[in-house]
Structure formats: structure tokens, C-alpha cells
């Protein structure tokens, strides 16, 4: 991870245009209080787990007919003035009922759930700061998914983090009512899921 030197702090609008320049293709950035931060590239396990979590959450939204899920290229604005714009790996929203209502560029309404999937190159200090930014800017529920240890740590304002693993279930609590999933299912390929998923998993 590195901080790029710029002549002045960027706004979210400037950042969204800058990251789409040809010279920035296949690179990953976030905007933290006006400063551009380059992130380490994700690996295959990271990508699989993120998509798998998104699939399971997406199925839930279609089953209950409420909300929607986006991936990590949609952008979430957490702060204005000293703009902070990040890309959670999976994001659940409840601010639109139709495709036409979706912001054409990025999210300006806090999501109800942000999911971060750890990468081998992630620094714990950066992850901790990002989780704190989510919490103080209105994100109700955060999941930190760790592919190496195959567990999920749940964060909420005013509560100690809780870690779930293996055949324990992670729930949507009051944020995503009725959602429950066995943690192991986030890390299983389709053939494994048939043999190993616990009964009643989502």
C-alpha cells in the first residue's frame, strides 16, 4: 500500500475520473480524506471469496424482494469536504427499488452492510481504520472475511467484534432480517458445498 503524491487533496468526483484513466488500468485505489491510496492487487482466493459472499447475499435480496448487492468496483463515499471514497469487496444497500434509481457512478447513501475480504498484502492498521470509518459514517454492519483462517469477524457500533468460523452461522441480525449462512460456505467451491455444507445453510 502506498500514498500517491498529489498537488492538492482530490474530491470524490475528481478521484472517480482519475482512477479511470488508461494509465491506472489494472491498479486499485481508494481515496482517504483527499489522499489517494494505492492498494495491493487482489489474488484468486480473494476474488473467489468476495464473489461467493456476493452471490449468497444477492440470493437473499432476491428471495426477500428487498435491497441489492454490488461488488467492489461501485465505490462508496463515506465523507465529504475531506472526501473519503472506498470500495468494499461486497456491499448491501436498501436505498433503491429499481435499476433506474441506482446512482450512475457511486454510492452516496451508506450501505447497510460492508464486507471486506482480507488479502495477503493488507496492513492491519489500514483495515482497522477503514472499519472505523465505516462505523462512524453510518454503515450498520461490517463483516471482515479472512480466507486464510476461514472466519468472519462482525463489527457493529458499540459492540465488541465477534468472530465466527467453521459450521457457526453468521447472521444479518436486524440489518438483513432472516439472513443466515454457515461461515464455511463462504470458502467452498460448488462440489465441496454439496458434501460439506451444514443442513439449513443459505
Per-residue pLDDT averaged across 7-25, rounded? 72
Count: domains in the chain: 1
Is 80 exceeded by the pLDDT of residue 47? yes
35 is a domain residue: no
Dihedral sign from CA coordinates of 130, 133, 137, 143: positive
Domain-located, residue 11: no
- At 131, which CATH number? 3.90.1570.10
Give the contacts of 124 (CB within 8 A, at least 6 positions apart): none
| Residue 72 and residue 53 in contact, taking contact as beta carbons nearer than 8 Å | no
Backbone angles phi, psi at 181, to 5 degrees: -150, 135
Is residue 18, in this structure, part of any structural domain at all?
Answer: no
65-103 per-position pLDDT tens digit: 999 999 876 676 665 566 666 778 899 999 899 999 887
Take residue 172 and report the three cell numbers written for it: 444479518
Summarised one tens digit per residue, pLDDT across range 157-200 is 999 999 999 999 999 999 999 999 999 999 999 888 544 444 43
pLDDT at 127: 87
Residue 57 has pLDDT above 90, yes or no: yes
Q: What is the mean pLDDT of the chain?
A: 82
Q: How far apart are CA 74 and CA 70, in angstroms?
A: 7
Amino acid at each position: 500500500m502506498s500514498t500517491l503524491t498529489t498537488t492538492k487533496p482530490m474530491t470524490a468526483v475528481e478521484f472517480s475520473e482519475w482512477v479511470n484513466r488508461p494509465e491506472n488500468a489494472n491498479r486499485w485505489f481508494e481515496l482517504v480524506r483527499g489522499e489517494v491510496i494505492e492498494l495491493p492487487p487482489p489474488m484468486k482466493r480473494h476474488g473467489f471469496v468476495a464473489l461467493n459472499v456476493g452471490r449468497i447475499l444477492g440470493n437473499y435480496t432476491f428471495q426477500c424482494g428487498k435491497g441489492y448487492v454490488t461488488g467492489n468496483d461501485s465505490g462508496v463515499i463515506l465523507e465529504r469536504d475531506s472526501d473519503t471514497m472506498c470500495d468494499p469487496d461486497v456491499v448491501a444497500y436498501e436505498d433503491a427499488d429499481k435499476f433506474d434509481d441506482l446512482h450512475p457512478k457511486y454510492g452516496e447513501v451508506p450501505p447497510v452492510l460492508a464486507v471486506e475480504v482480507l488479502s495477503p498484502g493488507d496492513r492491519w492498521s489500514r483495515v482497522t481504520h477503514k472499519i472505523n470509518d465505516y462505523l462512524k459514517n453510518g454503515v450498520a454492519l461490517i463483516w471482515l472475511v479472512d480466507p486464510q483462517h476461514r472466519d468472519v469477524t462482525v463489527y457493529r457500533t458499540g459492540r465488541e467484534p465477534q468472530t465466527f468460523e467453521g459450521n457457526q452461522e453468521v447472521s444479518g441480525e436486524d440489518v438483513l432480517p432472516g439472513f443466515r449462512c454457515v461461515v464455511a460456505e463462504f470458502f467452498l467451491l460448488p462440489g465441496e458445498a454439496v458434501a460439506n455444507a451444514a443442513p439449513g445453510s443459505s
